[in-house]
Structure 1
Amino acid sequence: MKKEKAEITVGKNIYSELKKNSRAVWGMVIVSVVSIISFLYLSLVVYSDSTTKIFTMNDKGEMIPLSLVSAKNDKIKVIKANAEYFVKNFYDLDQYSLKDKKERALWLVSDQPTKIIKDKDAKGYYSDFLSINGLVQKADIMPDSWEISNVDDNPNVNFSVLVKRINGTNEDYFRADIQMRMTKVNINYPYNPFGFLITNFVESLSKVKKPTDDEIKTQDSIIVEQINPTITN
């Protein structure tokens, strides 16, 4: 009778299994280290923002850094300065500065506003200052009338101008409600010192009464307080 040989079953290679476990352990270590570094970096960024920036709420209830608000306010200042520069050259006139201001105003506008200015010229807007001795026109933007939208693209700007027309002892007052659209261009000093071209211009002019002392004080107080214009997105 033959004796059966006992079969020896060889188990898994312990060294191979240890290598597999080692790879898994190192993988977990690497993932953990990356996660910790990422978390620490994010924490440092958040901490840095909290110490170097002040956050505020916009009109949509979103948190935005104050630095962005400041940048937007800076753009608004330039837009307002461009509008004020146009107003001073288009409305604030006398016989001595007429020619220069007319030329400056035309440098600030494109085709559509140019047609409006030339049409007013043909109707005697400028010639009155040459034919009527001592005729002077003063103009100021009403500080509570500013409305500016689309600040980061091609701004839409609405405001009202109080025009004071002086002829000797006679004074007439007019209100010009202005709507204009600007587009950003290269600064061309001194012809276009703020780098905005007025592409659309609408003027609604009406005669008004002389402002009362209280109304003048109110407007002056608004200027002093430097109230920001209404901004819409």
Structure 2
Amino acid sequence: MEKTKREIYRSLAKNNATSRASIIGLVLVSFAAMLIVYLMHINHDRYVYGLSKDKSLLPLELIEKEDLEDVYEKGHISHFISLFYTVNQFNYKEQIEKSFWLIDDSGKRLYEDYTKRGHYNNLIQSSSDQYVKEINIVTNDENNFKAAILVAINKPNQKDARLYKIIVEGSFEKTAADYPKNPYGYMIYNFRETQYSEITE
């Protein structure tokens, strides 16, 4: 009888220890879960989120919003430059018209200046293609930018294209995106060329 009692007490003690260990484990798991939720809360505005197929909220990419905005800003500027400076005798009016959706009246003034200088007439008469080879863009916190553009003009039966270095400056502001006219959702202001020189080397 005494032996049976001792075995019962041992069993109860063992079960009690197991229960305590389980409770401690649950407490640790709960604490870890609360810590994860807290860290997600304090960092929630640093990431871009979207809905998955099962409607769960998941991070699209672990890219901070600031970095993503920088990509969009430079993407918009690059998009305008590519449209405005990549032209030929057949598409230049269409390209320029598309570029006007991305910029204020400074774009039209620059186009009028090129027209007065006979730039587009020269492209038409010589059947030349003008295209952008490189774009390097730098922006700052005041929404100003500066870009170095390498433009090539290629004439038929010409061995090597003539290369031009163009330095441009301006500013930009965020606006409503309008695909396909303004896919990045920005507007360029006070765009101007500060340097235009042929590379002769």
Band the TM-score falls in, shorter-chain normalisation: 0.5 to 0.7
Question: Any idea what the Cα deviations from partners look like across 1:101-157, whole Å, max 9, x if unmatched?
Answer: 011112221123321221212221222222212x01120334xx431112xxx6212
Indicate conservation of the 8 Å contact 1:178/1:201, yes or no: yes
1:141 has 2:134 as partner: yes
1:182 has 2:172 as partner: yes
Indicate conservation of the 8 Å contact 2:106/2:192, yes or no: no
Higher strand share: 2
TM-aligned CA deviation for residue 46 of structure 1:
9.7
Unpaired segments ≥5 residues, structure 2: 1-30, 49-62
Rg larger in structure: 1
> CA, structure 1 residues 52+94, in 2 after alignment: closer, same or farther (shift >3 Å)?
same
Question: Which letter does structure 2 place at the counterpart of 1:140?
Answer: K
Q: 1:132 aligns with which of 106, 119, 126?
A: 126
Map of 2:191 onto structure 1 = 201
Question: Which letter does structure 1 place at the counterpart of 2:87?
Answer: L
Distance in 2 (alpha carbons) for counterparts of 1:67 and 1:88: 30
Q: 2:97 aligns with which of 97, 103, 106?
A: 103
Question: Any idea what the Cα deviations from partners look like across 1:165-195, whole Å, max 9, x if unmatched?
Answer: 1112142111111112112222222222222
Report % sequence identity: 18
Indicate conservation of the 8 Å contact 1:84/1:141, yes or no: no
Question: Which letter does structure 1 place at the counterpart of 2:137?
Answer: W
TM-aligned CA deviation for residue 158 of structure 1:
1.3
Indicate conservation of the 8 Å contact 1:141/1:159, yes or no: no
Q: How many residues are treated as equivalent by the alignment?
A: 153
Cα RMSD after superposing both structures: 3.0
TM-aligned CA deviation for residue 66 of structure 1:
6.2
**How does the TM-score come out when normalised to structure 1?**
0.57
Q: 1:156 aligns with which of 144, 164, 181?
A: 144
**How does the TM-score come out when normalised to structure 2?**
0.65
Indicate conservation of the 8 Å contact 1:109/1:197, yes or no: yes
> CA, structure 1 residues 66+195, in 2 after alignment: closer, same or farther (shift >3 Å)?
closer
Map of 2:153 onto structure 1 = 165
